[in-house]
């Protein structure tokens, strides 16, 4: 930097520390609430330090479920969330790397048309066509199935654009060399292009895993059985079902469990995450 003033550094640390505290505070409260018993939390005088009910609360949340209404244990919701998040991430990578390969490495009639058909989907999130999509999924008998949770959400252009962009940066000489060696489209894809794309795939996986894990409106609409619920909608239902008598300590334990996988992904795979975020959006 140009000038180095101790005061300016001090202000920077002060502002950033304040920022970190504000950002962390709601989650800290949720953590604390998940360690107390129901009466302490509902009483409105919850202490700012952890209580003694941690194991019991998490045990009940994960394996038993709430007591007031018959509800699913969170373990099952976590499994559903994992399956749909991984399904969305893998599915999107699979269909988009193939279509990007076709668009970049082949010349065929309607190539531009196909690209535009895919590209336009970028603009319209599932929220604006929610009921017609629901009807399609219902007609295909996919309500309350993993296919119904996954397939409609992988119909988007982000992945295709990302892989197209990446393939464009792969030197033409690689393809020429492979062809001289007698490699066809399958060999070239499998032996050359796929190994080069690993980082791009990983970055896309991280972003799509978070996207899939955090879905709310779509699973809310198409799951009617409790056994198919994902954890994100499970929390909401815990609070709605019993209103004033909501078991907040269990809801907060569930909220913490719902945050752990995606937040861990962001913290431990930060480089891939940042890369994926910047590349898919720009």
Partner 1 sequence: MEKSTVFNNKLLPYCLLFPQLVITIVFFYWPASQAVWQSFLREDAFGLVSEFVGLENYQTLFLSPAYYAAMLTTVVFSISVGALSLSIALLFATQADKNLKAAGPYKTFLIWPYAVAPAVAGVLWFFMFQPSLGMLSRPLRGMGIDWNPLLNGTHAMILVVMASVWKQISYNFLFFLAGLQAIPKSVIEAGAIDGAGPMRRFWTIVFPLLSPTTFFLLVVNIVYVFFDTFGIIDAVTGGGPAGATTTMVYKVFADGRLGGDLGGSAAQSVILMVIVIALTAIQFRYVERKVQY
Which residues within the stretch 171-210 sit at the binding site for partner 1 (CB under 8 A)? 172, 175-176, 179, 184-185, 188, 210
Answer whether 254's CB lies under 8 Å from 58's CB.
Answer: no
138 is a site residue for partner 1 (CB under 8 A): no
How far is the C-alpha of 282 from the C-alpha of 272, rounded, in Å? 15
CB 197 → partner 1: shortest distance, Å? Answer: 15
CB closer to partner 1 out of 73 and 261:
261
278 is a site residue for partner 1 (CB under 8 A): yes
3 is a site residue for partner 1 (CB under 8 A): yes
How far is the C-alpha of 47 from the C-alpha of 51, rounded, in Å? 8
Which residues, 6+ apart, have CB-to-CB distance to 264 below 8 Å?
Answer: none
Footprint on residues 209-268 left by partner 1 (CB under 8 A)? 210, 213-217, 220, 232-233, 235-236, 239, 244, 248, 251-252, 255, 258-259, 262-263, 265-267
73 is a site residue for partner 1 (CB under 8 A): no
Answer whether 163's CB lies under 8 Å from 100's CB.
Answer: yes
Q: What angle do CA 170, 172, 176 make, to 5 degrees?
A: 130
How far is the C-alpha of 230 from the C-alpha of 250, rounded, in Å? 16
Q: Is residue 71 helix, strand or coil?
A: coil
CB 144 → partner 1: shortest distance, Å? Answer: 17
Binding mask 20-59 for partner 1 (x = CB under 8 A): x-xxxxxx-xx--x-------xxxx-x-------------
How far from 70 is each of 75, 111, 161, 216, CA to CA, in Å?
Answer: 15, 53, 45, 21
CB closer to partner 1 out of 99 and 200:
99
Select the residue interacting with partner 1 from 136, 194, 196, 245 (CB under 8 A).
Answer: 136
CB closer to partner 1 out of 143 and 220:
220
């Amino acid at each position: 930097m140009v000038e180095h003033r101790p005061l300016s550094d001090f202000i920077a640390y002060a502002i950033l520390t304040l920022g970190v505290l504000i950002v962390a505070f709601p989650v800290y409260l949720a953590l604390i609430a998940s360690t107390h018993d129901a009466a302490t939390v509902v009483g409105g005088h919850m202490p700012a330090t952890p209580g003694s009910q941690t194991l019991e609360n998490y045990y009940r949340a994960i394996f038993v479920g709430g007591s007031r209404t018959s509800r699913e244990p969170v373990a099952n919701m976590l499994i559903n969330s994992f399956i749909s998040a991984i399904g969305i991430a893998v599915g999107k990578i699979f269909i988009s790397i193939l279509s990007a390969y076709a668009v970049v490495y082949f010349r065929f009639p309607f190539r531009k048309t196909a690209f535009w058909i895919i590209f336009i989907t970028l603009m319209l999130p599932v929220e604006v066509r929610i009921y017609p999509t629901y009807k399609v999924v219902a007609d295909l008998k996919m309500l309350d199935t993993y296919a119904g949770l996954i397939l409609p959400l992988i119909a988007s252009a982000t992945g295709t654009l990302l892989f197209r962009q990446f393939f464009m940066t792969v030197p033409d000489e690689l393809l020429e060399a492979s062809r001289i060696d007698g490699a066809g489209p399958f060999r070239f894809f499998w032996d050359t292009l796929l190994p080069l794309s690993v980082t791009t795939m990983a970055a896309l996986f991280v972003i799509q895993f978070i996207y899939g894990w955090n879905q709310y409106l779509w699973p809310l609409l198409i799951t009617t059985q409790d056994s198919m619920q994902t954890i994100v909608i499970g929390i909401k239902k815990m609070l709605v079902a019993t209103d004033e008598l909501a078991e907040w300590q269990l809801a907060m334990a569930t909220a913490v469990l719902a945050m752990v996988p995606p937040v861990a992904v962001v913290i431990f795979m930060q480089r891939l995450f940042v890369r994926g975020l910047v590349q898919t959006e720009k």
